[in-house]
A and B are shown apart, each in its own frame.
Chain A
Amino acid sequence: MSAPETKGSQARPNVDHWVDEHADVLFRYALQRVRRRDVAEELVQETFLAALRSHGDFAGQSTERTWLVGILRHKIVDHIRKVSKLRARRQQQVKEIPIELFFDERGHWKHKSSDWGSDPAVLLEKRDFWGIFEKCLAALPGGLAETFILRELEEQDPSQVCENLAISDSNLWVRLHRARLLLKECLEKYWFKRRSK
């Protein structure tokens, strides 16, 4: 395929069209990761502004949406890095989550585990599952939530997460272990138990 001559038409992108087509998707994507409406709104705005400035670079290799999401993802990671740095500077330690919260002195599970089933589609169909998931995620101590979000929502490699949060490998493993245990407990308490009644 030969690239059509698009210089003229690219000079002035149709921002109204951008907002109509992509703003809600970008907003939702950001909200899932930064969890505050005002921050998500700001990141979406910055994304469009950056897109306006660099519109000439949009080669049309990907779709417009993919291009915009790519910009947004950089903004989200920058935001999370900033939050994490700020916490470190304020010397707010990531709260230690003692393993005794989940296991007795012999190392056995304290609480019953429920089987969540094996089909992710079941979870996806239920809107209130994600509502509860968001609440459980929000309840995680700051450092744990950011770690889990970069790793499991942004799907970054472990090494990328370590770099972005300026933490060591072993710190990453502990944080994810605790985050997963806390999420499991919370989800079972508010979602799976309630359903099985």
Chain B
Amino acid sequence: MSVLHDVKMILSLSCDESSRLVSDNLERKLSRAERMALRLHLMVCRKCRAFRRNLNLLRDALHTRTEQCLATQDQPPALSSDERARLRQTLARAQTEES
């Protein structure tokens, strides 16, 4: 990437480009020019700030949901009684076959 390209990006980052950097920032280390461009843009753009905040919030909420899902037993959705019966049957059969 040329210096000219970097300078142009830093001075004129648009929201579509900024949203891409906000997303990429969760995946890879941004270059120094990208970081600078993004920081400048976010200073003046409320919508892109909101986008970044919302993505972080969603990531946290999904993480917590998984933890809760694994820690609690009785929470919907659960197996139906049919599905549960099928499961018991299959496992019982497998266990008899094994022994």
Contacts and interface: CB of A to CB of B under 8 A. Distances in A.
Contacts of B79: 23-24, 27, 41, 44
A12 B84 contact: no
A116 B78 CA distance: 29
With most chain B CB atoms within 10 A of its CB, the pick from A16, A23, A48, A109 is A109
Contact of B70 (A25, A44, A119): A25
B73 A108 contact: no
Nearest to A18: B91
Contacts, number: 143
A58 to B, nearest CB: 15
A124 B61 contact: yes
A112 B47 CA distance: 8
B78 A49 contact: no
A117 interface: yes
B11 interface: no
B83 A176 contact: no
A5 interface: no
B87 interface: yes
A111 to B, nearest CB: 9
Interface in A110-125: 112-121, 123-124
B31 interface: no
A139 interface: no
Contact of A115 (B16, B48, B53, B76): B53
Interface string A16-41: 10110101110111011000010001
A116 B54 contact: yes
A108 B15 contact: yes
Interface residues of A, number: 57
A80 interface: no
With most chain A CB atoms within 10 A of its CB, the pick from B20, B53, B59, B90 is B20
A107 B16 CA distance: 5
Contacts of B57: 116-120, 123
A106 interface: yes
A173 B51 contact: no
Interface of A: 12, 15-16, 18-19, 21, 23-25, 27-29, 31-32, 37, 41, 44-45, 48-49, 52-53, 65, 69, 99, 102-103, 106-109, 112-121, 123-124, 130, 152-153, 155, 158, 169, 172-173, 176-177, 180-181, 183-184
Interface of B: 14-17, 19-20, 23-24, 26-28, 46-48, 50-51, 53-55, 57-66, 68-70, 72-79, 83-84, 86-88, 90-92, 94-95, 98-99
Query: What 9 pairs between A and B have smallest CB-CB spacing?
Result: A107-B14, A120-B61, A103-B16, A177-B23, A120-B60, A24-B78, A113-B50, A15-B91, A107-B16
